[in-house]
Amino acid sequence: MAGAATEGKLSPALPLATLIGRELRGDGSERPIVRYGHSGFAKRGEDYFLVNPDCLRVPGDPSSAFSVFAVFDGHNGVSAAVFSKEKLLEHVMSAVPQGISREDWLQALPRALVAGFVKTDIDFQRKGETSGTTATLVVVDGFTVTVASVGDSRCILDTQGGEVSLLTVDHRLEENAEERERITASGGEVSRLNLCGGQEVGPLRCWPGGLCLSRSIGDTDVGEFIVPIPHVKQVKLPNTGGRLIIASDGIWDALSSETAAQACRGLPAELAAKLVVKQALKTSGLKDDTTCVVVDIIPSDHCSTPPALSPKRNQNKLKSLIFGRRSHSSVGKLSKSASLGSVEEIFEEGSAMLEERLGRNFPSKANLPPFRCAVCQVDQEPFEGLMMDNVGGCCSAPSTPWGGPYLCSDCRKKKDAMEGKRSSRSTTCSPASTEQIGGSNKPGFYQQCR
């Protein structure tokens, strides 16, 4: 798809003193220019991407503009990827309290992303379809970048100093011990596919279902411990800007983060996306699941080229680059003390526990009805909520204290199911999920890793 450009809107008629003050503070208040490009191949057509450069936080107010970019890598069919592309952003935005300041919106965004991902998963699963998808959603507001992701598509950040950092975490069972422990503790089994002779083949999968991912949207036919709760990271770029590369696993199986970043430095976003895909295909020879979106965040007083990312920079690093998927820990997590130029880490959280993600004091500054569900945003009458909470009968888990915000009964069931406490799908009292979990009784089919 042809790339396009969007220019951040400046606040009208700022007093001279304000402008001088900003200049002196160097606080990057001016909105950067955002340019983007896309490229990709997906043999089975299960990759989708979303580019929405002109979102408004406050309807009718151009100074509240922000941009959204996303990659969805579907598996076992396209419907979950298509549904997420159509609904995820809307669900995230519906979870942001109205009438709050930009600062409060950026602060509310990580929680809203969690709520939006979970709502999208619940709504898709109600359709009764079995496909699933990864989802990596990136919100760019000024120099602040917020990334939410489930699955193994990635978003990397390349900044002017040539530092490349990973803004997502891979939710692949093979590479994520923490997720393996969580799933086992929730009643799932993690093992490789067992062939007739007892031979174990392929990557680690979780049963029932045989999925290689530990988090996704959709996947109604796998264990409910495959959760849609995203890892969320929020950073503020230096006022020199930076480049984001968002791509599905076909790219990252072939290229390390550093290789992908270096391969396209100095090129405009559209060409950069094409080159990353080309480089990945050259390395792996595969032409599947290689969707790539490149986003340049360029200071508005800068020339129109990408943010001073010289293609010749750090060429000495090339010598040590090894092609192929780098290990989970080689880039590592950002930390405030990490050597990342002046990228400022604002927020990072990856817990799969809804209570930890929605917080006890949510929403802190919005005046919302007390019985509005923090996930699906449906208002319930207190009596209705209490009634529905009490009709779980013999399927109910023992009551556990819930320290999070109000949840409707459906979302509370979903929460318990994700934690392995009860199934949200069974309408009978038989322990169906326990039978399925039996290790000797794996399904005769397995799903693709993607």
Choose the stretch contacting Zn ion; rule: CB under 5 A; options: 169-177, 260-268, 277-285, 368-376. 368-376
Task: Kindly identify the residues of this chain, within the stretch 117-146, that bind Zn ion according to CB under 5 A.
Answer: none
Burial of 333 from C-beta contacts in 10 A (0-12 / 13-18 / 19+) = middle
Give min distance, CB of 414 to Zn ion, in A. Answer: 8
Q: What b/e string do you get for 342-355 counting C-beta neighbours within 10 Å, with b at 16 or more?
A: ebebbebbbebebb
Give min distance, CB of 146 to Zn ion, in A. Answer: 23
Give min distance, CB of 119 to Zn ion, in A. Answer: 7
Beta strands in 105-257 (DSSP E): 132-133, 135-141, 144-150, 154-159, 164-166, 189-194, 200-207, 217-218, 231-236, 242-247
In 10 A of CB 206, how many CB atoms? Answer: 24
Choose the stretch contacting Zn ion; rule: CB under 5 A; options: 22-30, 175-183, 313-321, 402-410. 402-410
Q: Which residues contact 418 (CB under 8 A, 6 or more apart)?
A: 186, 224, 225, 227, 229, 352, 354
Q: What b/e string do you get for 54-67 counting C-beta neighbours within 10 Å, with b at 16 or more?
A: eeebeeeeeeebbb
Give min distance, CB of 375 to Zn ion, in A. Answer: 5
Choose the stretch contacting Zn ion; rule: CB under 5 A; options: 181-189, 214-222, 275-283, 365-373. 365-373
Give the contact letters, 404-423, x = binds to Zn ion (CB under 5 A), - = no. Answer: ----x--x------------
CA-to-CA separations, 191 to 205, 283, 433, 449, in angstroms, rounded: 5, 29, 18, 13
> Which CB atom, from 118 or from 449, has the smaller least distance to Zn ion?
118
**Helices H / strands E in the chain, number of each:** 12, 16
Give min distance, CB of 355 to Zn ion, in A. Answer: 14
Q: What b/e string do you get for 151-183 counting C-beta neighbours within 10 Å, with b at 16 or more?
A: bbbbbbbbbbbbbbbbbbbbbbbbbbeebbebb
Task: Kindly identify the residues of this chain, within the stretch 373-392, that bind Zn ion according to CB under 5 A.
Answer: 373, 375-376
Helical H segments across 69-170, by residue range: 79-94, 102-126
Angle (CA) 299-304-309 rounded to 5° is 75
> Which CB atom, from 118 or from 294, has the smaller least distance to Zn ion?
118
> Which CB atom, from 22 or from 87, has the smaller least distance to Zn ion?
87
> Which CB atom, from 45 or from 370, has the smaller least distance to Zn ion?
370
Give min distance, CB of 129 to Zn ion, in A. Answer: 21
> Which CB atom, from 76 or from 409, has the smaller least distance to Zn ion?
409
Give min distance, CB of 39 to Zn ion, in A. Answer: 38
Give min distance, CB of 118 to Zn ion, in A. Answer: 9
Three-state SS letters, 122-136: HHHHHCCCCCEECEE
> Which CB atom, from 323 or from 371, has the smaller least distance to Zn ion?
371
Q: Structure tokens of 437?
A: 């979990």
Task: Provide the β-strand partners of residue 38.
Answer: 293
Based on the shown chain and the rule CB under 5 A, indicate whether residue 358 belongs to the binding site for Zn ion.
no
> Which CB atom, from 115 or from 147, has the smaller least distance to Zn ion?
115
> Which CB atom, from 235 or from 374, has the smaller least distance to Zn ion?
374
Contact of 429 with 394, CB cutoff 8 Å: yes
> Which CB atom, from 246 or from 375, has the smaller least distance to Zn ion?
375
How many positions of this chain bind Zn ion (CB under 5 A)?
Answer: 5
Give the contact letters, 244-273, x = binds to Zn ion (CB under 5 A), - = no. Answer: ------------------------------
Give min distance, CB of 408 to Zn ion, in A. Answer: 3
Q: Structure tokens of 288?
A: 């599947």
Choose the stretch contacting Zn ion; rule: CB under 5 A; options: 236-244, 306-314, 369-377, 418-426. 369-377
Q: Structure tokens of 327?
A: 């290990």
> Which CB atom, from 280 or from 373, has the smaller least distance to Zn ion?
373
**Binding interface with Zn ion (CB under 5 A):** 373, 375-376, 408, 411
